[in-house]
């Protein structure tokens, strides 16, 4: 249950971005749809996309066309692609236009959860909240949320129109949300949807220091994924592998089980293109870390310093506003 909103989702959702955007060339459409359908068979009811993810909304809309009313679809507005560059735009008129386009691409009458993808510093968040309230009253969206927003902004937005969820990065590799964000969400009764709960693939143990990334793979420009930082962060991977061996699980399952163990109102959205990884990821919901195991793991994590920023400087400026 995402906070006190009444919106129920599967414990683990599916982030669909990587099928079309951000992680190299787009997947074959039939294969991507097969992954989405297999996720449904395995109990997933929560699918995440955004208008900026190239053709991803259309892909998700096609895959879920025969499941209307049974799945929760989340999408996002507020980032435009202008001359090949991502530009933040949270103006009310643009939110309304984006919502209409997303409804068509997703083939739905109502968007279940609609996020502002990044906070626009030039638009008061109250104006965004009022716009989302209007869209709710018109039946175009059911719930709304913010992505990568700061706590002060969240409080201001929530006071105008209650937020259902906040989406931000959170994993063993990026624990900053524990400082201010998670306590605020608990206080306000807002759900948390962590993206990159596997550290953009790093926590699976599959990325070695000699890894190379396709020119269209976002990780190519992420400081955390330089060869030096990949090598420097192997201690974290080794820790996760050691716990996985004890629990007879995969490293990815331990990383996801750790996220799930933090709070009952957290629903991570790992992404994958491969059926075998999907099945493995979803198995994390059945892994229970005891309070002692969690404490020992957190103690070990506290001694590990992560090398490399999670975003290049241009992207980091847009987070936490």
CA 34 to chain centre: 21
Alpha carbon distances (Å) from 169 to 75, 179, 194, 315, 320: 16, 13, 5, 13, 11
Does an H or E element contain 187, and which?
Answer: helix 181-188
311 classed as catalytic: no
Q: Are 14 and 36 in contact (CB under 8 A)?
A: yes
**Tokens matching residue 81:** 């692609």
CA 109 to each of CA 102, 217, 220, 239: distance values in angstroms, whole numbers, following the listed order? 10, 33, 38, 46
C-alpha–C-alpha distance, residues 127 and 161, integer Å: 10
Cα–Cα distance for residue pair 59/72, rounded to 1 Å: 15
Q: Which residues contact 23 (CB under 8 A, 6 or more apart)?
A: 17, 217, 218, 219, 271, 273
Please provide the DSSP assignment of 72-101 as one string. Answer: EEEEEESEEEETTEEEE---HHHHHHHHHH
Start-to-end CA distance of the chain, whole Å, equals 26
DSSP class of 19 = G
C-alpha span between 317 and 321 (Å, rounded): 8
- The CA distance from 171 to 176, in Å, is 9
Phi, psi (rounded to 5 degrees) for 116:
-80, 120
307 to 97, 168, 182: CA distances (angstroms): 40, 20, 23
Q: Which of 23, 53, 114, 115 is catalytic?
A: 53
Active-site amino acid positions: 53
């Amino acid at each position: 249950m995402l906070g006190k909103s009444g919106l129920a989702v599967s414990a683990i959702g599916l982030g669909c971005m990587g099928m079309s955007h951000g992680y190299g060339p787009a997947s074959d459409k039939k294969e991507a749809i097969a992954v989405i359908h297999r996720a449904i068979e395995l109990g997933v009811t929560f699918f995440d996309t955004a208008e900026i993810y190239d053709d991803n909304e259309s892909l998700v809309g096609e895959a879920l066309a025969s499941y209307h009313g049974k799945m929760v679809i989340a999408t996002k507005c507020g980032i435009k692609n202008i001359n090949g560059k991502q530009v933040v735009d949270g103006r009310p008129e643009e939110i309304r236009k984006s919502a209409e386009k997303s409804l068509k691409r997703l083939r739905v009458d109502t968007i279940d959860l609609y996020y502002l993808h990044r906070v626009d510093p030039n638009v008061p968040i109250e104006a965004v909240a009022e716009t989302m309230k209007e869209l709710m009253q018109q039946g175009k969206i059911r719930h709304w949320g913010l992505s990568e927003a700061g706590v002060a902004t969240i409080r201001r937005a929530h006071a105008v129109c209650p937020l259902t969820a906040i989406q931000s990065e959170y994993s063993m590799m990026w624990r900053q949300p524990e400082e201010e964000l998670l306590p605020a969400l608990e206080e306000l009764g807002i759900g948390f949807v962590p993206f990159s709960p596997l550290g953009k693939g790093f926590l699976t143990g599959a990325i070695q220091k000699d890894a190379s990334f396709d020119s269209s793979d976002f990780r190519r420009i992420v400081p955390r994924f330089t060869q030096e930082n990949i090598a420097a962060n192997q201690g974290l991977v080794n820790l996760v592998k050691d716990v996985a061996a004890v629990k007879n699980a995969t490293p990815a399952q331990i990383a996801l089980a750790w996220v799930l163990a933090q709070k009952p109102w957290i629903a991570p959205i790992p992404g994958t293109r491969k059926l075998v990884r999907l099945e493995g990821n979803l198995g994390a919901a059945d892994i229970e870390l005891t309070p002692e195991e969690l404490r020992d793991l957190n103690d070990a994590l506290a001694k590990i310093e992560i090398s490399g920023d999670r975003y290049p400087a241009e992207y980091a400026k847009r987070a936490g506003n």
